[in-house]
Amino acid sequence: MKTICVNLINRLKKGNTNLIVAGAALFISLCALMIYIQEVHIMRAQQKATMYPYLILGSVYNEKGFGFQIKNSGNRLAKINP
């Protein structure tokens, strides 16, 4: 491990620009990978949140009388406890 570090330091001292560019590209690609993983995590959380039931409470008045109406506008089944 020491020899690798020593060789790297010697090459940097000599001014090898190819190694500097390659290191910068590697760093940028690792940063992009971390951002991509975080974005996937956020997208999964948003997708899961859209699947929750969405209940709408409304009132109805017709010839039978007055009443309440509950409508599920979400994508999942809504469980209502009395």
Per-residue pLDDT tens digits for 48-75: 877 777 778 888 888 888 888 888 777 7
Of 27 and 78, the structure prediction assigns the larger pLDDT to 27
Contact at 8 Å (CB) between 60 and 67?
yes
Of 25 and 6, the structure prediction assigns the larger pLDDT to 25
For the chain, domain boundaries: 2-72
Give which of 77, 70, 28, 30 is closest to 52, Cα–Cα: 77
Q: What pLDDT score was predicted for residue 7?
A: 80
Q: What is d(CA 82, CA 8) in angstroms, rounded to the nearest whole number?
A: 70
